[in-house]
Structure 1
Amino acid sequence: MYQEYSRILAPIDGSDESKLAFKKAVAVAGRNNATLIVAHIVDTAAFQTTNVYNEVIPEAITTRAKVMLDEYKEAAHKAGIEHVETVLDYGSAKYQLCHSLAGDYKADLIMLGATGLNTVERLFIGSVSEYVIRNAPCDVLVVRTDLDNTQIKHSK
């Protein structure tokens, strides 16, 4: 039986890997006539490590995240995706994706990059993609290749 997806959650963080996963999510959404949910989660743990809480930094990050989400939404519309939703959330990306956003937005597929921007968290806590694979309430596709299914070369 052919699996059709109707609500695809595509988390973005600005990394090359998340951009590639977004492009593939757009292609899958187009083939399935699905709603694309583009999400960005602001990691609030980064704010807890500063000695003096500064409202300017979180406000600037939120503003930039909104601009980024608008850009991705526009790109999806230009690619022919009719139904695009954007989500800006706060907290741990891996936790929010699995235990909040996937259920709240009734996602039946999460498409994300194999790695992202947060190298420190990946080293000490584990990767977002690994956590999502193990805990998501829906199917998960980890993108490791470009649109031509060619493996991505990472610089070391």
Structure 2
Amino acid sequence: MREVYQKILVAVDGSEQAHNAFLEALSVTRRNSGKLFLLSVADTSHLAGEPYAVNYAMDAAKKAADGVVENLKEKIPEDVDYTIIEAEGNPKLKIIEAAEELKIDLIMMGTTGTGTFSRLLVGSTTSYVVNNAPCNVMVVR
């Protein structure tokens, strides 16, 4: 385990678990005088069908992701250095991609996300990230 985490990525999706991970990430970032990367992914990985329906669903997913970020952004203290990253696609892949590109030291995320089906799979995104991340992952309840 590393002594100091300088680049902390927290993945958020509006769930209670993600909010808890966000709060823990703030604490870790401050304790390590690091930089926080707040990642929100509009999940468009399951969209298929009529172009109109896909566009509507993509817009809705993006709007929901933007709302999550705006809510959390207000809670970041002024002394915390942070960057907001908004992406579209498959959350599990986007988290790994961001961690690799930014050379993240620690990924923090909740146990499960917002989807009912995801909960049945007991955090499939979290499991994927834990098994594929290029760095340590902290899973927060």
TM-score range, shorter chain: 0.7 to 0.9
Does the alignment pair 1:127 with 2:124?
Answer: yes
**Which residue of structure 1 lines up, in the alignment, with residue 85 of structure 2?**
87
Distance 2:17 2:68 in 1: 15
Does the alignment pair 1:22 with 2:22?
Answer: yes
Does the alignment pair 1:139 with 2:130?
Answer: no
Distance 2:125 2:56 in 1: 27
Q: Deviations over 1:96-130 (max 9, x none)?
A: 212x1101122110000111112314546961111
Quote how far apart the aligned CAs of 1:71 are.
2.6
Tell me the TM-score normalised to structure 2 length: 0.86
Does the alignment pair 1:105 with 2:102?
Answer: yes
**Which residue of structure 2 lines up, in the alignment, with residue 96 of structure 1?**
94
Asked if the contact 2:44/2:61 (under 8 Å) is kept, the reply is no
**Which residue of structure 1 lines up, in the alignment, with residue 115 of structure 2?**
118
| Number of positions where the alignment pairs a residue of Structure 1 with one of Structure 2 | 140
Q: Which moved more, 1:110-119 or 1:27-36?
A: 110-119
Distance 1:61 1:111 in 2: 22
Unpaired runs of 5+ residues, structure 2, are none
Distance 1:91 1:52 in 2: 16
Tell me the TM-score normalised to structure 1 length: 0.79
Distance 1:45 1:125 in 2: 19
Letter in 1 for 2:7: R
Distance 1:63 1:74 in 2: 17
Q: Deviations over 1:36-84 (max 9, x none)?
A: 0011111112322x44533233223323322321332231135x41x11
When you count strand as a share of all residues, which structure comes out higher?
A: 2
Please give the secondary structure, in 2, of the residue aligned with 1:117: coil
Alignment RMSD, CA only? 2.2
Bigger Cα Rg:
1
Please give the secondary structure, in 2, of the residue aligned with 1:72: helix
Matches within 5 A, 1:26-41: 26-41=26-41
